[in-house]
Amino acid sequence: MTSASPSLFDTAADAAREAPFWAASDPATRAGLLQALARVLEQHRDPLVALAHGETHLGSVRLQGELDRTCFQLRAFADFVLAGSLHAVEHDAAVDGPPPRGRPGMHRVRVPLGPVAMFAASNFPFAFSVLGGDTASALAAGCPVVVRAHPAHLQLSRAVFHLVQRVLHEQHLPSGLVGLVDGASVEHGAALVQHPAIQAVAFTGSLRGGLALQALAAQRAVPIPFFGELGSVNPLVVLPAAFSAQAPEALAAQLAASVTLGMGQFCTRPGVVVLVGCEASRRFLAALALHLAEAPAHPMLTPAIADAYLSGAQALRSTAGVGVLLEPSLERMGALLATVPAADFMAREELRHEIFGPAVLAALCEDEQALVPVLQSMAGTLVATLWGAEADAPLARQLVATATARAGRVLFGGVPTGVAVTRAQQHGGPWPSSTQPASTSVGLHACERFLRPVVYQGAPGWLLSGFPSERS
């Protein structure tokens, strides 16, 4: 582990570069490491959760579940590696004759990019930190990792890193396969991104910080890919049909639980609700305000995050046309609920920016047809939720098409908080929710970020004999 000076970042990055064997390691070796890392987290569950709660205030129940998710995804990537599809060869056999029918034999493989710099997130001390999904997917892909610890849970990061080093030692693997740097300054982050050993960056954090790091990655003598998750308002559109299927008060309780989960510090928290102004909507908003007011409050992850949340709430309150139903204060860091006419929402870009925390802005439309242009006015987002679109109708089709164009995941009912770790998952969307909308940071396809394709044409037999099972 290194800290303090940017020059010390060289130690971790160079150590990762000196682990090239990992790119050629066999599936059993990679899977064995991932499985062992899951076991060591479980073996030290109680002290790790206690340490995480002391730094983040997220509560033991939430943190226990997050540790379970982290272990699950480590094992899921291990199974994915063992299944063989991650590095399977695609083979086009040679065909005699002139082109276009005739062709040489080709074998398409995917090779690891090399050492990955992983910037841990503030809001997920286990699942998006030292042994989170970025680290797990990079190791599964065959890439060493250098983790930039987040200052919001620095002691936990160090404790997990020590366990990682123990596992590497027990498995006779070099310590540089997973490195940790804990310098919190902008200069430290810049030094890591610009280090010549680093071949890709995975980042979860603010739009401002992500933009700065992305620029540095692009300005290198040899630019490297930057996979950033930067910010998302995650709209929830409520068609009037939703209130016919379920009472407004019940839907409000469901939404309030999602908004206040972890003090609203989830990247998938619904931040904008779009609905038609009617009696059912008024009941829904009244119940939502009540549930949000009654939700337990606790300190946010860092003082800076709390200050930004209060500043965002104050700016929203001061915006013409916005009506505030519930707002936080210095005395009680609670939820924010505000309303605005749909026309004002579409006219004011600042209303369509994320407020990180338990905040909800309701855009009120005059009729159902206005739901579509309101959704169209929003930028890219991780997830969009549609309530009441189960029946096939022209409006439902328009909303689905619009949501598909703007989100990486579209929900029909339910709430977007909680992202399943599966093969089919997509956690990434159009700008500014992520910098690479074709990639995902959650789910088994997260490995693909750290692989690049190479085709061997007319390869000799000695090379082909070393390939894994082929997929023709």
Enumerate the active-site residues: 229, 267
Q: Is residue 413 within 8 Å of residue 266, measured between CB atoms? A: no
> Please, is 91 exposed, middle or buried when counting C-beta atoms within 10 Å of its C-beta (0-12, 13-18, 19+)?
middle
d(CA 287, CA 235): 19
d(CA 231, CA 182): 23
Q: Of the candidates 346, 175, 309, 335, which has an alpha carbon nearest to the alpha carbon of residue 255? A: 335
Residues 6+ apart with CB under 8 A from 258: 269, 270, 415, 416, 417
Report residue 99 as tokens: 């082109």
Q: Of the candidates 241, 456, 234, 440, which has an alpha carbon nearest to the alpha carbon of residue 354? A: 234
Q: Within the chain, how many helices (H) and strands (E) appear?
A: 16, 16
CA distances for 382 relative to 354, 385, 387, 405, 470, angstroms: 12, 10, 17, 11, 34
Q: Which amino acid makes up residue 55?
A: E
d(CA 133, CA 53): 20
d(CA 313, CA 328): 8
Pairing of the two strands 116-119 and 106-112: unpaired
**Radius of gyration over every alpha carbon of the chain, rounded to an integer in angstroms:** 24
DSSP-derived 3-state class of residue 198: coil
d(CA 409, CA 236): 12
Q: Of the candidates 17, 303, 296, 324, which has an alpha carbon nearest to the alpha carbon of residue 176? A: 17
- What is the distance between the terminal CA atoms of the chain, rounded to a whole angstrom? 44
